[in-house]
Amino acid sequence: MDILLEPLLGLLIGAVCVACSARVLSSTRYVCPACGKTFRSRWWKAFLAFHVGDDIALRCLHCGKKSVCYPSHDQSGEG
């Protein structure tokens, strides 16, 4: 029984970690360094993107340029 329980517990913990990360990534607004506008990325794009600390390589939804974007401190959505 332990042979099945340990891998399943590991998968469950991994799934919870991915779900928590997805929630944070989907609610974070990023600032494009090229055009200065803020945007939200889809959680799976942000999850799979290259990360350097809080900065993340994303394609801007406004100007279309792919660059390393940084999180916006103003989460109101204006900008």
Question: pLDDT tens digit string along 7-63?
Answer: 888 899 999 988 888 888 778 899 999 999 999 988 888 888 888 888 899 999 999
Residue 1: pLDDT band (50, 70, 90) is low
The reported pTM is: 0.71
Assign 3-class secondary structure to the chain: CHHHHHHHHHHHHHHHHHHHHHHHHHHCEEECCCCCCEEECCHHHHHHCCEECCEEEEECCCCCCEEEEEECCCCCCCC
Q: By C-alpha distance, which of 24, 28, 50 is closest to 38? A: 28
Cβ pair 40, 32 in contact under 8 A: no
Domain boundaries, the chain: 2-71
